[in-house]
Amino acid sequence: MQPKTLYDKHIDSHTICKLDDQGHVLLYIDRQVANEYTSPQAFSGLREAGRRVWRPSATLGVVDHVNPTSAVRTAEVADAGGARQVSYFGENCEEFGIELFDILDERQGIEHVVAPEQGYILPGMVIAAGDSHTTTYGALGAFGFGIGTSEIEHLLATQTLVYKKLKSMRVLVRGALGTQVTSKDVIMALIGQIGASGASGYAIEFQGPVIDAMSVEARMTICNMAVEAGARGAFMAPDDKVFAYLAGKPRAPRGALWDAALARWGELYSDPDAHFDLEVELDADTLKPMVTWGTSPDQVQSIDGQIPDPEAEPDLLKRMDMQRALRYMDLQPGTPFSEIPISHAFIGSCTNSRIEDLRMAATILRGRRVASGVRAIIVPGSTMVKRQAEAEGLAQQFIDAGFEWRQSGCSMCLAMNDDVLEPGDRCASSTNRNFEGRQGAGSRTHLMSPVMVVAAAITGKLTDVRDLFAEQED
Amino acid sequence: METFTKVQGVAAPMLAANIDTDVIMPKQFLKGIDRSGLDRGLFHDLRFLADGSLNPDFILNQPPWSKAQFLVVGPNFGCGSSREHAVWGLRQLGIRALIGSSFAGIFFDNCKRNGVLLIELDKEQVSAIGRTVSQASGAELEVDLPAQQIRLADGTSVQFAIDGLRKEALISGLDAIGSTLTLSEAIEQFEAGHFAANPWLE
């Protein structure tokens, strides 16, 4: 039998039928997660055509993009448009029989944090959802990918998508990560290495000792941000860590079903001789904390570097992109990163807002305080993460250090709610996109890991967290 | 969905790499529950100055490109967020097709579902077309989908490839959901087998 990749196994086991001889298939989708801002027109479309939802139990609704994150939780959304989206989402979920985690639900949070923590995402599943970071689910051995609103409507109506198989890429992460070098740095370095469209048209499978050694939550960060390299899906073979993570989660199978599932999940790996269309390697031994300097996630370097000089770039179009990015970011070539002051620090988003992120971030504090003139904000990824962090005393440590401790939501990752930066603000951010205007029109974003955000918050400028950590050890 | 066969119009060059959907449709225009009003949001922070007036430096504010029906774009156009609002906005401003060397995956699918034709060519071909349409005298072109051909003002033409399913959907304005629902029986059969083999998914 032809050896198969993990991706082959997922797609083959979910193919209902071929649709042509050019690679299009009708693909069965096990589950989807829906949010209030990309779904309204899909539900309206169903209603206008008089169509039903094919399998209501296969969709979970979560309010996350527009809700406020103010310190005290209320169901009020001050913005009229956002409020209408939340109420319409509620109407739609009720009418079509879809389960909803509304703003006040104790399970509410960012969809890609909530779905895994509920055990809603299981190995071997194929998941599609109206959000590009659906790739996150790859960390559980599920194949997840983002879709637009028309496809959401198609999925709701048929539980399928018309799909064309991607090419396959294996990313082998060798070596071992150094102190304070995280999975965020791995994925940022990969994006820098292959570019913002380096994985366009590919499904990535991550392998290697660094991945094996990582926690499930750390792996989620990698799969989440693989879309910033253009990947339409990124995953890892599920292992004992994944099974341990899922055991006992509210929606995970139990008893005999759990045993049957485990037996099946053990088959989810790429066969030893399976062919990948592209092989990429990344050396973790030499990896340092990473930080972006531009307006695309591939405009990234290690923190000990300096702002690059566009004049040194031979490719004219790339040079112009660099110049445009530096103009927007108001940065001069040759400036060391460690001399760039920040006005804001933000820990949140589906990339880095889980309990382990907060635990690691808190280890950097050790009684230090946020620098004067810096507004530092933490938005936990879910209400459950928030409560856990409060129970462990992490929240109080952040509050004592001068951080704002907020309710969960997407918040300042894309600034669709009222957490918006002003023009000229410069933010050290644990999020996933440094696009122009992403955190507010005219605002400037430097992407980095949560521990790097804490380091920047403490010193008031971009800072190598390893230097702060070394001080602690002295 | 509006059909696409042969369209003649002005093409505007926007050749920067990685133009993302946040730039194409900023967040403040994502608050609707319908598709209306997105023409105003398209490239908003580039098209308009802080006081709301048109930015004269932006290509789509300059004749003849202010009437553009096509964009000639840089690599990885449409990357980032899945927001289909970006494509609805393009469509509402009158954009019918985009010519580029590569497009982001979700954006690609969103265009397909809204009758916007994406034409993928080599980088060199895109650069050449970009140069031609950057001259006001060369801005007009014709896209002939059945013939899979772009005809430029200078008399040259460029062939492009497109898979049959997407071509047919664009030409006929296919109802994708209706088409899939004709396969309902196959979906039901698949589900029965899938849940039998993976009972914890039921």
pLDDT tens across A304-348, in order?
Answer: 999 999 999 999 888 999 999 999 999 999 999 999 999 999 999
The matching CATH number, chosen from 3.40.50.300, 3.30.499.10, 3.40.50.10420, 1.10.10.10, for A6-279 is: 3.30.499.10
Inter-chain residue contact B17 with A146, CB threshold 8 Å? no
Q: Identify whether the C-beta of residue B45 lies closer than 8 Å to the C-beta of residue A52.
A: no
Q: Do domains A6-279 and A293-473 have the same CATH topology?
A: yes
Cβ-based contacts of B80 with chain A (< 8 Å): 132, 433, 435
Q: Is A26 on the interface with B (CB under 8 A)?
A: yes
Average pLDDT of B54-79? 98
Report the residue from B22, B79, B183 with minimal CB separation from A26: B183
- Count of residues making up chain A: 474
pLDDT of residue A1: 80
pTM of the model: 0.97
Which numeric CATH code is attached to A293-473? 3.30.499.10
Q: Identify whether the C-beta of residue A253 lies closer than 8 Å to the C-beta of residue A261.
A: yes
pLDDT of residue A72: 87
Give the number of beta-carbon pairs within 8 Å between A and B. Answer: 181
Preceding peptide of B64 cis, ω within 30°: yes
Query: Hey, what are A440's tokens?
Result: 């507010």
Q: Is A438 on the interface with B (CB under 8 A)?
A: yes
Average pLDDT of B181-188? 98
pLDDT of residue A74: 87
* One pLDDT digit (tens) per residue for chain A, 474 residues: 899 999 999 999 999 999 999 999 999 999 999 999 999 999 999 999 999 999 999 999 999 999 999 988 888 898 999 999 999 999 999 999 999 999 999 999 999 999 999 999 999 999 999 999 999 999 999 999 999 999 999 999 999 999 999 999 999 999 999 999 999 999 999 999 999 999 999 999 999 999 999 999 999 999 999 999 999 999 999 999 999 999 999 999 999 999 999 999 999 999 999 999 999 999 999 999 999 999 999 999 999 999 999 999 999 888 999 999 999 999 999 999 999 999 999 999 999 999 999 999 999 999 999 999 999 999 999 999 999 999 999 999 999 999 999 999 999 999 999 999 999 999 999 999 999 999 999 999 999 999 999 999 999 999 999 998 777 665
Q: Is A132 on the interface with B (CB under 8 A)?
A: yes
ipTM: 0.96
In this predicted structure, the answer to whether residue B1 has a pLDDT above a threshold of 80 is no
Query: Hey, what are A252's tokens?
Result: 């995970």
Domains and CATH numbers, chain B: 6-162 (3.20.19.10), 175-202 (no CATH)
Report the residue from B16, B45, B80 with minimal CB separation from A433: B80
- Here the contacts of A392-399 (C-beta below 8 Å, separation 24 or greater) are A392/A355, A392/A359, A394/A358, A394/A359, A394/A362, A397/A362, A397/A365, A398/A358, A398/A361, A398/A362, A398/A365
- Give the separation between CA A85 and CA A78, rounded to whole angstroms: 12
Q: Identify whether the C-beta of residue A408 lies closer than 8 Å to the C-beta of residue A384.
A: no
Query: What distances in angstroms separate CA A444 from CA A11, A326, A343, one per listed residue?
Result: 39, 10, 10
Bridge-based pairing state of the strands B149-152 and B157-159: antiparallel
Residue A337: Cβ-neighbour burial (10 angstroms; 0-12, 13-18, 19+): buried
Q: Identify whether the C-beta of residue A237 lies closer than 8 Å to the C-beta of residue A141.
A: yes
Q: What mean pLDDT is reported for chain A? A: 96
Considering only alpha carbons, which residue of chain A is nearest residue B36?
Answer: A41
In this predicted structure, the answer to whether residue B137 has a pLDDT above a threshold of 60 is yes
Q: Is B120 on the interface with A (CB under 8 A)?
A: no
Residue keyed to tokens 């008399």: B155
Report the residue from A147, A253, A317 with minimal CB separation from B109: A147
With a CB-CB cutoff of 8 Å, which residues 235-274 of chain A face chain B? 253, 257-258, 260-261, 264
Q: Is B35 on the interface with A (CB under 8 A)?
A: yes
With a CB-CB cutoff of 8 Å, which residues 74-93 of chain B face chain A? 74-76, 79-84, 87
Residue (of B36, B57, B38) closest to B47 by Cα position: B57
Q: Percent of chain A having pLDDT more than 90?
A: 95
Could you tell me the residue ranges of all domains in chain A? 6-279, 293-473
Strand partners, A61: A34, A100
The backbone torsions φ and ψ at residue A384, rounded to the nearest 5 degrees and listed phi first, read -70, -40
